[in-house]
Chains A and B, each alone.
Chain A
């Protein structure tokens, strides 16, 4: 996949396991994808799908133990991030790769002012004076659309609204003009109208700074609007990876089809009944044999329960892990 010199990040067969008293949790199990320069890649999945752990693994933020990266590589600009020591990794983290978290209240330090934290983020990676850092911080706050920036520099996180806090987080994340911005459910905690503001801001900053974005979300609408390519995850495994149109109009994995059938569309004129996926996502400790989705899959055959399907490239750039995907491809099996 990394043949293209446009590739910024190349991840192969990443496996992050957690060794707990109750058993081994295979939180990320064989994830591969690549990220191109300037693109927005969406990772979509439900609770426990491993989408957030994937992000944390890229940033080297997994606690070891209980976590362990069992296999894989994360190639960023010719460097395997998994081979780096924590100290070396710090040069990348917050600098070339940075992250926006779901809950800005818990990821901002409540005892320091926003200005303080912003300047710290800048000074950690740039050799400039405090005065320059202060000016840079002001500039960043202005960039993320914060009103009243001079006053805001002296404010503490609790004095901000949820949306403003998320803006401050974004300012911090882009402080060192990163090549990759990972946004993990950046708007889940926010109101709908604020959500739109923040997502537009991320999109705008991405275009302005020519960086790439990994957008992690459970919201298919957000994926449809912002992502160019999409990785669908289920129970720690990547089930489908393709460009956004193919994911929505030509899915080859029954889980992707199920997700799309589960959401109501605002624009639908006639009330079409939702087609939910039966059952509930499995516990990562006690995964079903064979294909992990088989127990919930309406297309599952007995053979699906014997082994996990290999990840195949069914069309150019369209990867899927499903024994029956070829039948969908040839048209012998209907998606309906």
Chain B
């Protein structure tokens, strides 16, 4: 696609510190959680950028920052040349039409008191698109697009299965004809056989509508299936960014290596031959992250420098493509 090189979204030095509250009469802030700590990445038009990481790594916070559901502590979110961070709420409304989100939990993300027609209608209503008749027509069309029966427009979410409800969520995200869709763990609550349906649907929709995805998940095999490029997050930091093939074949950061190795491949012969790297220890709390490189307490390659200095993202690819890693010993096998 010719458009592929156009930059759609660029995040620079994004930070979000949450204040922990405590207080007697009412809450006062004391310490803070560095949920997202100085991350930068970009997404080109028409591509899928995957963000992968374990719980508490800040991937969902990043999604909410881009949507301005929460306010960043600092940083720039450049969408088509406008810094979303600095926009007023009224100015932001225009971009809300173009940036949509699909949530993880198809049970919690649809209001139980609204019909699926109302749910898909809501974005149209908020952005005052068309009149009642044209909206009704459009809702039905989009329900059909995502593989639902338009006749079911007056049914309530609880009458649908998890996969179908996720389709409703996709229709809601799609109905305003957005450019960028942020997918926050869109399949992790679904059964295996249904996951594949939704993933394929999302890929088809991307082709059909020339969508750009920011795909957030903890399951690296799912992320790899849908993404062109992948960013790996650990404790609020991006530790590695690479094209998805490259990331699997040639991981540079020890955390990525451990993560890849931790996922068993559904192929018994291969699994028996595979060498496994088991990362020791727990994911530390983001309230009090380790000094230096945040991964060093779990890293088999860690040296003195790792606990003292914080490594920055550097490009390790020679032939023009980008393969970033933040490690003093990037590429060293473990």
Measured CB to CB, the residues of A under 8 A from B are 46-47, 161, 163-164, 191-197, 200, 218-226, 244-245, 248-249, 258-267, 269, 271, 273-278, 280-281, 296
Contact = CB atoms under 8 A, between A and B. Distances in A.
B279 interface: yes
Contacts of B282: 161, 163-164, 194
B101 to A, nearest CB: 23
B256 to A, nearest CB: 11
B193 A281 contact: yes
Nearest to B147: A278
A196 B220 CA distance: 14
Contacts of A245: 268-269
Contacts of B54: 191-194
A325 to B, nearest CB: 19
B126 interface: no
A264 B265 CA distance: 9
Nearest to B267: A224
A267 B270 contact: yes
Contact of B220 (A47, A260, A266, A278): A266
Contacts of B298: 193
Contact of B196 (A200, A218, A223, A276): A276
Contacts of A220: 192, 266
Contacts of B270: 224, 267
Given A218-B191, A224-B265, A263 B161 contact: no
B218 A191 contact: yes
Contacts of A192: 54, 218-220, 259, 262-263
Q: Which 7 residue pairs of A and B lie closest in terms of their CB atoms, listed nearest first?
A: A276-B196, A221-B264, A264-B225, A262-B196, A196-B262, A220-B266, A191-B54
A299 to B, nearest CB: 15
A195 B220 CA distance: 14
A191 B55 contact: yes
Interface in B263-322: 263-271, 276, 278-280, 282-283, 298
A248 B268 contact: yes
Nearest to B226: A264
A194 B193 CA distance: 25
Contact of B200 (A191, A194, A248, A273): A273
Given A191-B55, A273-B200, A281-B191, A266 B265 contact: yes
Given A267-B270, A271-B225, 11 more contacts: A161-B283, A163-B282, A192-B259, A192-B262, A193-B54, A193-B262, A196-B261, A224-B268, A248-B267, A264-B196, A265-B266
B122 interface: no
A271 B265 CA distance: 15
Given A46-B193, A265-B221, A280-B163, A274 B266 contact: no
Contacts of B78: none
A23 to B, nearest CB: 17
B245 A221 contact: no
B166 to A, nearest CB: 11
B194 interface: yes
A280 B267 CA distance: 25
Nearest to A262: B196
A296 B161 CA distance: 15
B283 A264 contact: no
Contacts of A46: 191-193
Nearest to B54: A191
Given A192-B220, A193-B283, A258 B264 contact: no
Contacts of B146: none
B224 interface: yes
A224 B266 contact: yes
B259 A274 contact: no
A253 to B, nearest CB: 13
